[in-house]
Amino acid sequence: MDTSRRAAAPAPTASPRRRGAVLERAILDAALEQLSTVGWKGLTMEGVATGAQTGKAAVYRRWPSKEDLVADALEAALPPVGGVPDLGSVREDLLALCRRARDAMFSRPGSALRAVIHECDQMQAERFHGVIFDGVVEPTIQQLRDVVTRGIERGEVRPDAANGYVFDAIPAMMMYRSKMCSSEWSDRDLEEMVDHLMIPLLRPHGS
């Protein structure tokens, strides 16, 4: 074969250098991926830099510590929280809320958040308190409050059930069983929790 006539292979073109918001988004995505796969203890700034295909210095320039990076990654990833649709009964409203919470818990941001909650020590966890409370806890409590208030208005729920212990019951149970029992919360599990725990807890006295 006449190699003199062989077409020269085109030289590979360098990928454009990422800057600003594009690079920051890549770093935050890489941090989230690390959290959801290797957890808080396995996450390193070097691993995040490799995942984002950038240098470690580019990560440290924006986030001086692992805690700062993870806090911003979680805050950027948490989805906006909407209201729970009114399905006509407190049982159906609670099931809809529980399914939404289950899906969020086992999403990539949810897995990352659980890694932080389960693996951080108390001092580290304080750095994430605002992100967790403002982005997860308070919106969930507000949704439960809305469901219970609608149930009270329908006469399905006793008025004194609108209290913090009741609002804590579903999140506490879902977090406990997912961690201690490795429960993935099937639809049947959610129905049993609502039917055997929440409905008796909310039901008006004497009914």
Looking at residue 96, its pLDDT comes to: 95
**23 CB neighbour count, 10 Å cutoff:** 17
Tokens (6 digits) for 182: 């490795």
- Percentage of the chain beyond pLDDT 90 is 59
> In this predicted model, what pLDDT tens digit does every residue of 56-90 receive, in sequence order?
999 999 999 999 999 999 999 988 777 888 999 99
pLDDT, residue 92, reads: 97
Q: Report the pLDDT value the prediction gives residue 114, as an integer from 0 to 100.
A: 87
Kindly state the DSSP code that residue 136 receives in the 8-state scheme: I
- The band of 53, judged by pLDDT with boundaries at 50, 70 and 90, is very high
pLDDT digits (tens, 9 = 90+) for 14-42: 345 667 889 999 999 999 999 989 999 99
CATH numbers and ranges of domains, the chain: 20-77 (1.10.10.60), 90-202 (no CATH)
Contact 93, 156 (CB under 8 A): no
Lowest mean pLDDT across 21-25, 78-82, 101-105, 138-142:
78-82
Radius of gyration of the chain (CA): 23
Supply the DSSP string of 14-78, one letter for each residue.
PPPPP-HHHHHHHHHHHHHHHHHHHHHHH--HHHHHHHTTS-HHHHHHH-SSHHHHHHHHHHHHS
Model confidence at 115: pLDDT above 90: no
Using CA atoms, how far residue 11 sits from 3, 4, 6, 14, 18, in Å, is 18, 18, 15, 9, 21
Mean pLDDT score of the chain, rounded to an integer?
A: 87
pLDDT at 1: 46
pLDDT at 4: 45
Distance CA 177, CA 173 (A): 6
- Tell me which residue has tokens 């929280």: 81
**Integer CA distances (angstroms), 112 to 23, 115, 126, 129, 142, in order:** 20, 5, 16, 15, 23
8 has a pLDDT exceeding 50: no
pLDDT for the residue numbered 154: 94
pTM for this one? 0.78
Confidence check: pLDDT of 13 > 80? no
What is the mean predicted confidence (pLDDT) over 171-185? 90
Q: How far is CA 119 from CA 4, 61, 123, 176, in A?
A: 63, 26, 12, 14
**CB 45 within 8 Å of CB 56:** yes
How many helices (H) and strands (E) are present in the chain, helices listed first?
A: 12, 0
